Structures are given as C-alpha cells and as structure tokens.
Chain A
C-alpha cells in the first residue's frame, strides 16, 4: 500500500471516523471505518490530485455509509426511534460544544447529517452538489433549514 495513501488517511482519520460515527453505532463503527478505508483504497487510483481531498473522502464515505445503512435497516430504525424520543432531553443536558455537535448530528436524518458535516467542514454548495447529486439551491435551502432547526433546539 503506498505510504502517501496511508499518510492521507492518517491526516483525515478524524473525519472518516466522525462520518462512521454518524452512520453506525457501537462496535459497528470500526467496521464502517474499515469499509470506508477499503473503498478509499479501491478508488484511490482514480483520485485526481487537483481535486479537493475532503470532497473525494465525503463522496466515497457516503457511498459506504449508504450501503451500510441499507444492511442495518432494522437496528437503525430502533436507534432512530430512541434518539428521537431522547433528543429534547439530550439538548437540555448538553454541557459542551462537543455534546451539542454530537446531539444535533444524531437528531438529523441521514441526508441532513451529511450536509451538516460538509457545511461544518467548509465545503461550498457547489462541492456538496457534486457529492450529493442535487442542485446547489436545494442545498442552500436545506442549510437554512438546518440553521433554523438548530436555533429552535439549542437557542430558545
């Protein structure tokens, strides 16, 4: 395995792990991380060095996450129901920004969570559009909705 790939993965390790944490739970996080790494390695030869690394990582990681979501549908529905019930209490109890970030990500649906992570990572609407396959205006609308939802949950 080329060392530049290994180095790249080390540099973006926290990002990969964060994406996996959002779409998997418990011990399955490591499996999803491994699946993302595997897919990154597989698509690495096609990665153009002029492209933004974050864009490539999100694209591949979300592909892996969606396959994972498909395989774990039953467990995920149970977890989502628990998360929805406990969301208001969790929002009240959040004491640090890390708690707020984790809580807000957990409360969102799969697509909104992906948009939020990319937004926090500084990706433009155009870059997100290239990853998600929907137009930039739709993304801008969704980001505004996310801002509103965040204020409703954590500010009021």
Chain B
C-alpha cells in the first residue's frame, strides 16, 4: 500500500453530494453584512463611551456650570482631544487586510501582523490610554476643586475619588497585560510556528 492508493478513497468521498439540506444558505448573506459591520464598527462602544464622557464634561464645564475655572475648561478640552486620540488609535488597530483569497503564507503573515498590532496596543495601554487619562482626570479634579472651594488642593472626597480612579486604572493595566500574556502571546507563538512549518518545512 502506498500514498497514491488513498486517491481512490479520496475520489469516492469527493463524489458524494454535499449535505445541502444542513447548509444554511440564507444565513450566509446576513452573516456577510454582519461581518462587514463588525469590521467597520469594531471598538464602537469604547469610542462611544469616551466621546460620551467628553461631551458630558464639555457640557458641564462650558454650558451648565457657571463660573467654571480655566483648569476645568482645560480639562474638558483635554477630554475631547483624548477621546479623539483613542478613536484614532483604535481605528488604526483595525486596519489589516481581511481578504479571503490570499495565499496561506500571506494569510498567516496578515494574522501575525494583526496579533502583533493588538499585542503592542494592549501591551502599551499604560502609555497611550491610562497615563493621559490619569493626567486629564487630575486636571478635572483640581479644576473642580478650585471651582468649588477656591483652592486647587482637593478635599478628602476629591482625593478618595481620584484614588479610586487610580486603582481602577491599575486594574485595567493589570488586566490588559494579563490578556496579552494569556491570550495573545500563545496565539502569536502558535501562528509563528505554523508559519515556520509552512516556510521552512
């Protein structure tokens, strides 16, 4: 028996008609639209949350609160700039070619490139997301304190709220690093090993 003997068995299997009744053709079109929407509006809710918070802050500092100080206003502007920055960074992370008919080698390269982008994005979350957010938060806290009491030094409540934010950011940082270690790194390793297997044999 040799490998070519399997060709007969293979041909027999291929001549069998496909189990068409179990295939949900009508779902395919809908799934394609969903997938396109998913690609176009990925990270939508995260961006929406940042834009929402910045809009509320702008409204609070510029429109609704009378006598908001320059620092509060600066904080509001910083929120808007920060939200736009997050939108740009997240949008950039989606820019990977998603064609279905690449060669296997290109497909693996694309998947590796996408994962490396994700890895660098979530691995550096402290630099592009949390540190600026902390700075913006500090501005808003100090500005808010000045508007209420005339002093830039916040009271105990202000510090407690700020400390809660810092703790929350520390958790987000830890969680992102953990996700990189537990999810992205093993996937990346697996894909790179597949790629090596393909190219080096």
- The reply to whether A132 and B19 contact each other, CB–CB distance below 8 Å, is no
With contacts A14-B16, A14-B17 known, is A66 near B6, CB below 8 A?
no
- The reply to whether A43 and B28 contact each other, CB–CB distance below 8 Å, is no
Number of interface residues of B (CB under 8 A): 48
CA distance A33 to B27 in the complex (A): 13
> Which B127-157 residues have C-beta < 8 A from chain A?
none
Q: What class of interface size applies to chain A in its complex with B? A: 35 or more
With contacts A73-B186, A154-B1 known, is A121 near B10, CB below 8 A?
yes
Query: Smallest distance from the beta carbon of A39 to chain B beta carbons, Å?
Result: 4
Chain B residues near A147 (CB, 8 Å)? 2-3
Q: Is B40 an interface residue (CB 8 A)?
A: no
Chain B residues near A114 (CB, 8 Å)? 104
- The reply to whether A63 and B104 contact each other, CB–CB distance below 8 Å, is yes
- The reply to whether B104 and A132 contact each other, CB–CB distance below 8 Å, is yes
> Interface segment, B87-95, B160-168, B190-198?
B190-198
> Interface segment, B43-51, B54-62, B66-74, B106-114?
B106-114
> Which A4-36 residues have C-beta < 8 A from chain B?
6, 9-18, 30, 33-34
- The reply to whether A37 and B14 contact each other, CB–CB distance below 8 Å, is no
- The reply to whether B107 and A66 contact each other, CB–CB distance below 8 Å, is yes
Chain B residues near A98 (CB, 8 Å)? 9, 13
Give the interface of B toward A (CB within 8 A): 1-3, 5-10, 13-20, 22-29, 31-32, 35, 99-108, 111, 186-187, 190-191, 194, 197-199, 201
Give the interface of A toward B (CB within 8 A): 1, 6, 9-18, 30, 33-34, 37-43, 46, 56, 59-60, 62-64, 66-67, 69-70, 73-74, 97-98, 100-101, 104, 109-111, 114, 117, 119-122, 130-134, 138, 141-142, 145-147, 150-151, 154-155
Q: Which 5 residue pairs across A and B have the least CB separation, nearest first?
A: A13-B18, A133-B105, A133-B103, A120-B10, A97-B9
